[in-house]
Amino acid sequence: MIGSFRIRLLAVIIIIMLVGLSLQSDHSSRYLVEAVLSNYVLKDYGVEEKLALLIKNTRSRMTDKEVPVLADSQMQTPCSYLTVARRYGWSWNEDSRKQEFHPGVTLIVKENTPVRPVLSGEVVEVSRNDEGRTILVKHGQKLFSYYQGLQEVLVRENQQVNQSQILGKTGKTFYFELRDEHGPLDPQSLFP
């Protein structure tokens, strides 16, 4: 019996690697490994059921987080747009040649498109960065919306805004982000 945990772990890794290599090759051992896996491991130990349960539980945990909203209102799309240039989530960046997380949605819009808040709230910040002017709106206690790429801002800090009010007007691209106290939220449902 192998006594050390590390040695046992190494043995398991080597066995898994050999099984994987065998399954990928055209060697005759492949058929033996497939038979053992399908007849003994999957059926005798109930691996199929356990894998199905694991996948089901993983999918239910991976569903989109619920976005907290005020009970008397429904979120709206902040502006009309031509197309979505980049969606929320992980994607491959050709410039940096690596996976990067995009915490919001980048839209291609007509210049001077009016931008409205997704919910009523208070303008907590108006600023400028390399992409244009930005606005941060607080909705209730824990939800924030961030608007970037504005060429004109029509509100001021500490101003209360409603969903029909225009925050500003866009340039040719517009970036939107939805956040709570834990970080960015997926705003996908606003941009079908």
Q: Which domains does the chain have, with CATH numbers?
A: 5-62 (no CATH), 83-190 (2.70.70.10)
- Give the integer Cα–Cα distance in Å for 120 and 166: 11
Q: How far is Cα 76 from Cα 163, in angstroms, rounded to an integer?
A: 8
User: Distance between CA 12 and CA 62 in Å, rounded?
Assistant: 29
For the segment 41-96, what is each residue's pLDDT rounded down to a tens digit? 656 666 666 666 666 666 555 544 555 555 456 899 999 999 999 999 888 888 88
Segment 164-182, tens digit of pLDDT: 999 999 999 999 999 998 8
